[in-house]
Amino acid sequence: MKTITENQAFGLLTTGISGNTFAQIRTTTDPRMRKTDNPYMGAVKVSSINVAYGANYGNAVNRQAKREDNPNAEEFKPEPLPWGEWIPGLENKALSHKGEKYLRFQLTGVKPEVHYLLEGKEISVDLLRPFLPNRKPSQRQIEHGNAKEVQVRAFKLSSIIGFTLNGEDYLIVR
């Protein structure tokens, strides 16, 4: 496993890749739990996720529509980002928001490996479930007529702890 800095990881992921590339990312994130009466505040979500990186979201939704024989295929046009701005020259890959860099990935459909930790010890998702937000599917894709949602996520660069790209494992050191 190679160790690289956050800046090296950003450079490798944004300039070392052209087009759509498959990878696996490992992240540590805040699960954004409901705070009221929550004895598990401070828990973190640790995930290993298979992703496509550099994919064009609009094209992916339209390809999915074609696979489903959706008569609305080729009509989907993504709206502007709901928050943040694309970093010039890195559209579909990287954005910035409030001075932070984010990388955007398309989920591949392989179920992520997810663990929750509280004070360094694993905790069951069943204990956390009452405090976790419910995820809502893309209303625009539903209106477009797609049965299967194309899911994209933007991860703050500082939440990515490692990744596998082209068969090489990387650990980000901070």
Per-residue pLDDT of the chain (174 residues; tens, 9 = 90+): 999 999 999 999 998 777 789 999 999 999 999 999 999 999 999 999 999 998 889 889 888 888 998 877 667 888 899 999 999 999 999 999 999 999 999 999 899 999 999 999 999 999 999 999 888 878 888 777 888 889 999 999 999 999 999 999 999 999
Q: For the chain, give percent helix, strand, coil, nearest 5.
A: 20, 35, 45
43: how many CB neighbours lie within 10 A of its CB?
Answer: 20
Cα torsion for 109, 169, 117, 53, to the nearest 10°? -40
Looking at the DSSP bridge assignments, the partners of residue 171 are 3, 162
Nearest to 10 by CA among 160, 112, 153, 151: 160
Residue 120's region, left for phi above 0, alpha for psi from -120 to 50, else beta, is left
Q: What pTM does this model have?
A: 0.87
